[in-house]
Structure 1
Amino acid sequence: MNTKLLLGAIIFCSINLHAEQNSNYNFKLEETVISTENFETNVRETAANISIITSEEIEKSAAKDFVDVLKNVPGISVKRYAGTVKFDIRGLNSMYSDRNSLITLDGVPVSSNQVGNLPIESIERIEVIPGGGGILYGDKAIGGVINIITKSPENKQYYGSVYTNYGSNNLRKVGFDYGTKLTENLITEVEYNDYNSDGWRHGEKFETKDARFKGKYLLENGEIEYKYTHSEDEYYKGIAVPRYVSDNDRKDPGRLSKSKEKSNDNYLKWKYNLSNDTEILMYGNYYERENEAFNRKTDEFYRDSDDVRKYLKFQMKHSYLPKSYFILGTDYSREEYKPYSTSEGYKQISGSNIYKWVKDGDSTKDNVGIFVLNKYTYDKFEFTQGARYDNAEYDFYWRNGKLNDPEKIGENDTAKYENYSFELSANYLYSETGSAYLTYTRFFRTPTATEIRYTRNSETLNPQIQDTIELGWKEFIADTYISASTFYKLTNDEIYSAIPPEFSGMVNYNIGNTERIGFELYAEHYINKLTLKSSITYLHHEIVDGNYESSHIPSVPNWKLTAGAVYNFTNNLSVSGDWLYYSKSYDLDDLENVRGESVSGYATFDLAAYYKLQNGLSFTARLENVFDKKYDEYTGYWDDTYENNETIFRRQYYPAIGRTITIGMKYEL
């Protein structure tokens, strides 16, 4: 890592600690947090290193997607890859974000693909809890939780907005929302968004259309809320290419991967206060998506498969002493991978000359969880204890792919996992503005429904168990909000897509035990109309036993540094700039580290401006990657046939987007 960059960041953070304290900014510690319990608490009283991004901050940053919103959050690596958004929390590898870090939408576990195209205008707030959420959500929360909370209907007679964005690569977005109060207790809202972009690489195209309906019925001691979303997406995406292709023209897509998706998302929530001491929360979700793939021979799209997810959660919070309470709950989830055309017959096994009787069918994962969380307050101390039990059962058909065992392809199989999660924490509120915490957690992850059918040996995978110890601190010192944490993670039987020694081909594989030691520091300093922001994230990561002992985790940088400034000329006029640095890392599939840290580090700089008139009209502008930095979102090593149609193994690259500009306009009633 560049020593000057590190020294500059440390000095920048240190300078932020010297000024006169202003209690007006203590709101950072009192900000409401929902994701850790599904009931409201605040940042100061939560034993985790939480980051919160509000809708106002999103709007003023002129962000166009989740990458813009989250990339400066400490402890997170977020990138665009092939039209989707990939997250990594604390070094669990962004390319496998849907497996190791939990993304929730209004408390419902979802895929990064599902939220990647969610209009940011629909977002009320985003809460990031590194290393948290395993008691409340269970499976896949080992990295932490990113909870996206969408806007609910407002208790107003009428309200609404219309917005549009234009930018580089023929980006065009238009949308509107309108809400009204139908009766004293019934509020409704409709929303529509249409997004089109040619993409950054030649021939790419991204189209998304979303329509939403929201309704809320106000009860005397609670509320019932319903949200429905219909989305239609079409993608023409470039692929990873060898360097001789991308060096010649970084916008060369290699070839285009085409797909279409159509989805329906239903969400229903019931919240009720039985008494001053007891609250009940229940919510559920039914999500279905139709997937269309592209046939290059016929030049046509065809219905490929369906994905269905069902989710139901019930929990109760009861206060038995002032500031002391317990939460009891249970949840059920079901993942379904459904081939559109199921058949059986005598077929050729993919990648071989073997023929056998093959049957297709649905692959499912059913999970039932039970959890309890107790928080006891004594004087200035808060003690939290949590436990969770999960039972996951799989029923699946082995995929007809060359990475699978030919003897198993087309056969029906089952698997079962039972796991436990634990949490112990102590939070010391030593002053009106400061707190310090110590936590221990044990969380886990098991294969997804798609993952377990995809490659050989999946049914023999051990669950991935992770123990974490974290020490953190939050405080206001001299007009500066500071949040710092250090942690140690020991992961048993980490699941990775790897090439194991006993056979070739990328498969899901327990690579052994791993450890991660990290440090995160965030500082936000206020000087009249100027706000300075900076962060340092350091992560040591290593495989500590097995075939890859002493290797570092691929595709995970050791350092992430950020610095930024926001100047508010008035409440309605602001400009901002953000600098981001990642250190170098290993190729995604280089578990042996034989190619060295060959993924170069890089730094980017973005600018944004926001202006709002008194009549409700506002304007935004964002210049991303100002200096047009050339770097890669992905680097791996696999075969290609670019030269003479011969298979050659070589490094592959997915080049990152260059300089872009986006201009937006919005009018609010």
Structure 2
Amino acid sequence: MRTKIALLSLILSAVAHGADIELGKSVISATGFETAQKDTVKNVSVVTAQEIEEKNYQSVTDVLKDIPSVNVIGDSSSPKIDMRGQGKDNADSNVQILIDGVTINTIDSSHGSTPLNTVAVENIERIEVIPGGGAILYGSGTRGGIINIITKTGAGYQGGSIGAEYTSYGTKKGNVSYGTTLGKLGVSVDYLDERYRGFRDEDESDNKNFQTTLNYDLAEDKKLTFKYLRFEEKGTYPTSLTRKQINEDREQSGYDSGILPSEKEIKKNEFSLKYEQKINDKIDFNILTSYHDMNMVTHEYKDMNQVMDMDDTRIAVKPKMRVKYRENDELIFGYDYVKAKLDRKSIGSMKISPTKTSYIKADSNLTKETNSLFVLNKNNFGKLEFTQGLRYEYAEYDLHRKYNNLLPLDETVSEDNFALELVTNYLYSDTGNIYARIERGFTSPKPTDLYDKVNNQYTLNNLKSEKYLTYEIGARDYIYDSLVGITGFYTTTEDEIYKDTQGLNFKFKNIGKTERYGVELSAEQYFDKLTLREGYSYIKTKIKETAPGESNTKGKEIGNVPNHKLSLSLDYKLNDKVSLSSTTVYSAKYYLNNSNTGGKQNSYTVTNVTINYYPMPTLKLYTGINNIFNEKYYDSVSMKGNEYMFDPAAERNFVFGFKYNF
């Protein structure tokens, strides 16, 4: 509590004494077209390449951990990104994560999470975070919000950089980038090689990341951008620890003597081609096509001896147009086609009892194909803006599942949904606005949600799409030269999807009704040599109604959702050669599961500090201390039967590196 009070006091004092706010940031996630941040209705968080470099973040996960509206659950190998209280089980389905506008969420979240850290932070232009909503532009699964990672294009750039980094756990990273402009063609190439070594034993991997971008100006108002990303990872990862193991050694892998660590190998290719044209002063058009393929092979050794080979592919075509009419009115409309496919093969064995072993041979071939139409209209009447949005989405599923020699599942089903949004925005001054928003959105099931497994038999269930209704009010303005944003929201969801697992059996069900509400506060100030950023998020959740026959969670909070999160960031430029950055994040306690049994995950406060030294304009040397006060906390805590299982987070550690521009 003292930590919360201290951080809130710093926020309030900074709000009262800031100066010279800069609002040069722009976003594209709010409308699908590049828009100045000050002209967006929602309170969007934007982390720029400059901020990423000043703080020397090591991964996308590290960036998101510092944002108050984002809750990162789990360790670095498979983090789940949550916003607005979706919880550990539903975060992957209700927070859309995009790279350059291309969704990267997998269609199977039961065997891992969205591969977030496949983008090197050195290649990121900015990260846009929009808490809550976005169903009109992005369709299913945006109840929690949207995170769009925008990579660098290389257009208009001549030169390159080399860099290297070393951490106290033994991670070694080297990267090189080069960009040039040849007439109308901009080219950039980036390569990163990382030998990652984590805090715990067996937490290690070898990663390679390659990205190239071609940006071609076809004419003054026509542009073509091609991007290719290749990511490879091969490594081992630790398992959760019992309380006894935690007391013995927090750094151990959790594997007993003679048991090999679990292995994982990922190969990912992602292509995108975007055509943009400004037809005239009133009409803009773009079309984004993309292809994504990720192959992941895992070998589990502890609880089972199993090899799983999973291939996740996605093809998307997304044209859209913006038409400006009258003086300040505009209409945005478009069409989305997405075909996602999962091929997964598993073979292995599991020890059921000292005398009984279950053998596994399973094949899955699952497809989800969606077609969507959307329209977003904005009208201006003096200081009042009115926005109306509508989306229709039709999804068709092909489900093919085999398990050992039992009767296979072979079904085709379909779902159709619609989303609706109404916004009123009052521009009461040149710098301030207040808005109210209502959104009716949906989350259609993933293919893996549509069947149950009971006694080794797969049967089609009658799972419904989730349907949510969000009420939101927000404001943004200068207060004593400090930019302040505040948002309050209330969301109710009908038929929320959850998985009921009992041993080797599982069923997917719809919870009757849930609610989430909270407040998000942000502020930032730019002094002569000092930049301050503050944020606070409060979230409360409740399961209002349960499915027939299910009553143990009624009235309970959704697990893995901290009620409070605070962040304070400080960047100070001592002189032309030395700068200092620090970030402190506080996360409150939370329940471990939806039944609110087994206690809570403890609260924690983590402070990271980094120092940058520029001996010459083209060379940066840096060092940092992560978790400077050596807080002992956990990336996640879970229950296995009646026993706590812990994933300990990294203790105090150091990083050293350099970057040379040429």
| Displacement of 1:533 | 2.4
3-state DSSP of counterpart to 2:155: coil
| Partner in structure 2 of residue 509 of structure 1 | 509
Q: Is the 8 A contact 2:352 2:358 kept in 1?
A: no
Show the 5 A alignment for 1:251-270: 251-255=251-255, 256-270=261-275
Change in CA separation of 1:198 and 1:439 when aligned onto 2, cut-off 3 Å: same
- 2 CA distance for matches of 1:398 and 1:463? 21
| Displacement of 1:260 | 0.7
Q: Is the 8 A contact 2:93 2:443 kept in 1?
A: yes
CA shift digits 1:86-118 (9 cap, x unpaired)? 211111124543211000110011136433131
- 1 CA distance for matches of 2:475 and 2:424? 12
- 1 CA distance for matches of 2:29 and 2:215? 21
Q: Is the 8 A contact 2:621 2:659 kept in 1?
A: yes
Show the 5 A alignment for 1:590-609: 590-596=593-599, 598-609=600-611
3-state DSSP of counterpart to 1:327: strand
> Which moved further from structure 2: 608-617 or 119-128?
608-617
- 1:422 maps to amino acid: L
Q: Alignment partner for residue 318 of structure 1, among 314, 317, 323?
A: 323
| Displacement of 1:228 | 1.0
- 2 CA distance for matches of 1:615 and 1:114? 35
Q: Is the 8 A contact 2:78 2:115 kept in 1?
A: no
Q: Is the 8 A contact 1:335 1:449 kept in 2?
A: no
| Partner in structure 1 of residue 215 of structure 2 | 216
3-state DSSP of counterpart to 1:44: helix
| Partner in structure 1 of residue 531 of structure 2 | 531
3-state DSSP of counterpart to 2:38: coil
3-state DSSP of counterpart to 1:10: helix
3-state DSSP of counterpart to 1:60: helix
Q: Is the 8 A contact 2:217 2:223 kept in 1?
A: yes
Q: Is the 8 A contact 1:214 1:225 kept in 2?
A: yes
Q: Is the 8 A contact 2:216 2:223 kept in 1?
A: yes
The answer as to 2:179 corresponding to 1:179 is yes
3-state DSSP of counterpart to 1:99: helix
- 1 CA distance for matches of 2:324 and 2:98? 26
CA shift digits 1:29-65 (9 cap, x unpaired)? x531211111122223222121000000000011111
| Displacement of 1:164 | 1.0
- 2 CA distance for matches of 1:57 and 1:357? 48
| Displacement of 1:132 | 3.0
| Displacement of 1:230 | 1.8
Q: Alignment partner for residue 625 of structure 1, among 615, 624, 627?
A: 627
Change in CA separation of 1:333 and 1:454 when aligned onto 2, cut-off 3 Å: farther
Q: CA RMSD in A?
A: 2.8
Show the 5 A alignment for 1:477-496: 477-496=479-498
3-state DSSP of counterpart to 1:155: coil
**TM-score normalised to structure 2 length:** 0.90
- 2 CA distance for matches of 1:32 and 1:513? 37
Change in CA separation of 1:626 and 1:451 when aligned onto 2, cut-off 3 Å: farther
| Displacement of 1:572 | 5.3
| Displacement of 1:294 | 2.4
Change in CA separation of 1:558 and 1:35 when aligned onto 2, cut-off 3 Å: same
User: Which segments of 5 or more consecutive residues in structure 1 lack a partner in the other structure?
Assistant: 640-648
Change in CA separation of 1:14 and 1:658 when aligned onto 2, cut-off 3 Å: same
- 2 CA distance for matches of 1:454 and 1:237? 29
> Which moved further from structure 2: 56-65 or 196-205?
196-205
| Partner in structure 2 of residue 137 of structure 1 | 138
- 1 CA distance for matches of 2:521 and 2:460? 38
- 2 CA distance for matches of 1:452 and 1:191? 41
Change in CA separation of 1:593 and 1:125 when aligned onto 2, cut-off 3 Å: same
The answer as to 2:366 corresponding to 1:373 is no
> Which moved further from structure 2: 430-439 or 106-115?
106-115
Q: Is the 8 A contact 2:118 2:209 kept in 1?
A: no
| Partner in structure 2 of residue 195 of structure 1 | 194
| Partner in structure 1 of residue 499 of structure 2 | 497
Q: Is the 8 A contact 2:15 2:524 kept in 1?
A: no
CA shift digits 1:296-346 (9 cap, x unpaired)? 59x99967231111111010111012221101101111111113699xxxx
Matched residue count: 637
Show the 5 A alignment for 1:359-508: 360-398=363-401, 400=403, 410-452=408-450, 459-499=461-501, 507-508=507-508
User: Which segments of 5 or more consecutive residues in structure 2 lack a partner in the other structure?
Assistant: 106-112, 256-260
| Partner in structure 2 of residue 273 of structure 1 | 278
| Displacement of 1:518 | 0.2
3-state DSSP of counterpart to 1:322: coil
Q: Is the 8 A contact 2:223 2:275 kept in 1?
A: yes
- 2 CA distance for matches of 1:79 and 1:225? 34
- 2 CA distance for matches of 1:557 and 1:296? 33
Q: Is the 8 A contact 1:67 1:79 kept in 2?
A: no
Change in CA separation of 1:301 and 1:636 when aligned onto 2, cut-off 3 Å: closer
- 1:335 maps to amino acid: A
Q: Is the 8 A contact 1:63 1:622 kept in 2?
A: no
> Which moved further from structure 2: 215-224 or 105-114?
105-114
The answer as to 2:545 corresponding to 1:545 is yes
| Partner in structure 2 of residue 643 of structure 1 | none
The answer as to 2:222 corresponding to 1:231 is no
- 2 CA distance for matches of 1:267 and 1:10? 43
CA shift digits 1:361-410 (9 cap, x unpaired)? 52111111110000111111221110101111111123639xxxx97x63
- 1 CA distance for matches of 2:323 and 2:399? 40
> Which moved further from structure 2: 52-61 or 193-202?
193-202
CA shift digits 1:596-630 (9 cap, x unpaired)? 4x211111111112233444111222211112211
- 2:650 maps to amino acid: I
| Partner in structure 2 of residue 109 of structure 1 | 103
- 2 CA distance for matches of 1:116 and 1:77? 16
| Partner in structure 2 of residue 646 of structure 1 | none
Change in CA separation of 1:250 and 1:188 when aligned onto 2, cut-off 3 Å: same
- 1 CA distance for matches of 2:634 and 2:402? 31
- 1 CA distance for matches of 2:360 and 2:8? 64
Identity %: 30
- 2:32 maps to amino acid: N
- 2 CA distance for matches of 1:483 and 1:329? 30
- 1 CA distance for matches of 2:338 and 2:451? 18
> Which moved further from structure 2: 558-567 or 381-390?
558-567
3-state DSSP of counterpart to 2:562: coil
CA shift digits 1:188-240 (9 cap, x unpaired)? 22211101112211122122111222111102111011111222111201111
| Partner in structure 1 of residue 240 of structure 2 | 240
Q: Alignment partner for residue 70 of structure 1, among 59, 64, 73?
A: 64
- 2:485 maps to amino acid: S
Q: Is the 8 A contact 2:343 2:366 kept in 1?
A: yes
- 2 CA distance for matches of 1:36 and 1:143? 15
- 2 CA distance for matches of 1:578 and 1:295? 37
- 1 CA distance for matches of 2:573 and 2:338? 45
- 1 CA distance for matches of 2:373 and 2:495? 24
- 1 CA distance for matches of 2:577 and 2:371? 48
- 1 CA distance for matches of 2:612 and 2:153? 24
3-state DSSP of counterpart to 1:629: coil
| Partner in structure 2 of residue 15 of structure 1 | 13
Change in CA separation of 1:204 and 1:454 when aligned onto 2, cut-off 3 Å: farther
- 2:643 maps to amino acid: R
Q: Is the 8 A contact 1:285 1:310 kept in 2?
A: yes
- 2:322 maps to amino acid: K
3-state DSSP of counterpart to 1:92: coil
- 1:230 maps to amino acid: R
3-state DSSP of counterpart to 2:136: helix
- 1 CA distance for matches of 2:224 and 2:127? 22
Change in CA separation of 1:490 and 1:350 when aligned onto 2, cut-off 3 Å: farther
- 1:664 maps to amino acid: G
